[in-house]
Each structure stands twice: as C-alpha cells, then as structure tokens.
Chain A
C-alpha cells in the first residue's frame, strides 16, 4: 500500500519557538494532503487541506498565521507551528490522498514546554 512518512516523530520545544513538521508521500504523488490534530482520547480534528501549488484551506477556528502549511511538491507538505505555546502540545497527523483512499502518516508528538 501507499506509504506516508512524517518527520520528526516527536519533538520537544520551548515556548515561543517554531517547529516544522514534514509529511512525505514515499511511493506516490499526492496533489492533496491533510493535516489533523488529535487530543488525548478524542477524534481526529481536521486542521487544513493542503493542495500542491496553492494555498491551504483551513478549517474554521484554525489560525492560519499560527499553523503555516506549505505544499511545495507532489510528495511533500510541511506544517510549521509558529510561536508555539504549551496549548499547542498535541499529536499531529498528516494524510495524503491517492485515488479514493487516504493514507496517514505515523504522526508527530509535539510537546511545548
């Protein structure tokens, strides 16, 4: 099946710093990638839809200037959490669409101290 990778798998940073998370589709090209956030014992919350070569579409309530998304190529999308705060600590998961299916990355655990 299609493989989606994320890097890093976990990151700890100080409050106020920025963190970049990469999402790659390893064996297929993805024109559309999605970024999700999951809080403990809760569902996946869609943050934004990333389309290659265009601006991301953010869900209501998600701050565009705080969560910067760049989809520079058909195999790479990045999420940058700017000026991170402890409340941004969460599990971030990306997903790439291939045909009718959606394949998920392994997730990135962000802890902001």
Chain B
C-alpha cells in the first residue's frame, strides 16, 4: 500500500503561470511533510517543508499548503520559470526520527 501518492506523473505549465503539484497521503501519523526537486542524474534538493501544526508555509515563489482533514498537500510555484522544470517529489515523515516516505514524483515542464 503506497502511503504517499502523487497522482499526476507530469504537468506542463506556461512560463509566468502558477504550477500546482499535488500529493495525497494515507498515514494519519505523518506529521512532517517535505517537497524535493530533482534533476536527472542528480540527488534531490530540498525545497520546502511544513509541519502538521501549520496549514501553509511560504518561501519566495514556493508555497506549500496542507489540508490534514483531506490528507492532502500541494506545492504552488508562482510565477513558474523554465528553470523550475524538474521532477518534484513529496515526502512525509512520522516524527523527527522517522524515515521519509516518498511519492512517485511529478515531472514539471515549464514552457517559455
């Protein structure tokens, strides 16, 4: 049973527009959520995170929203830039010492 799901394998957005990447989870014990960006043949790079005590966290062009009742989180990128084109993974963790469980990733393509 996959505990973290990213149902959209790919997303294409025009430069300047908003990119919205979605992630759903099933384990109600998850209390910390992270988004990573990954380029081919490179390791993931941490983007932004959110604790379960919050429903929104913003860092520059990136905002993560958490809806605990729906077990859903989303990453908003606005405005989108061609350099944002990459694979985005969401991850969830139970407690500070817990291991992170990753979704399958969403490939974002931002067209100039």
Contact = CB atoms under 8 A, between A and B. Distances in A.
Interface stretch (B13-21, B34-42, B59-67, B70-78): B34-42
B85 interface: no
B89 A109 contact: no
Nearest to A59: B99
B62 to A, nearest CB: 15
A44 B46 contact: no
A102 B104 contact: no
Is chain A's binding surface mostly helix, strand, loop or mixed? strand
A94 B43 CA distance: 8
Contact of B41 (A1, A104, A105, A109): A109
Nearest to A40: B40
B45 interface: yes
B105 A43 contact: yes
Contacts, number: 48
Interface in A1-17: 1, 4, 6
Given A34-B99, A43-B103, A43-B104, A100 B41 contact: no
23 contacts: A1-B46, A32-B97, A34-B100, A42-B104, A43-B89, A43-B103, A43-B105, A44-B44, A46-B100, A49-B99, A91-B41, A93-B43, A94-B43, A100-B96, A102-B46, A103-B46, A104-B36, A104-B46, A105-B43, A106-B42, A106-B43, A107-B43, A109-B41
Given A6-B43, A106-B42, 8 more contacts: A1-B46, A4-B43, A34-B100, A43-B89, A43-B104, A44-B102, A102-B46, A107-B42
Interface of A: 1, 4, 6, 32, 34, 42-44, 46, 49, 91, 93-95, 100-107, 109
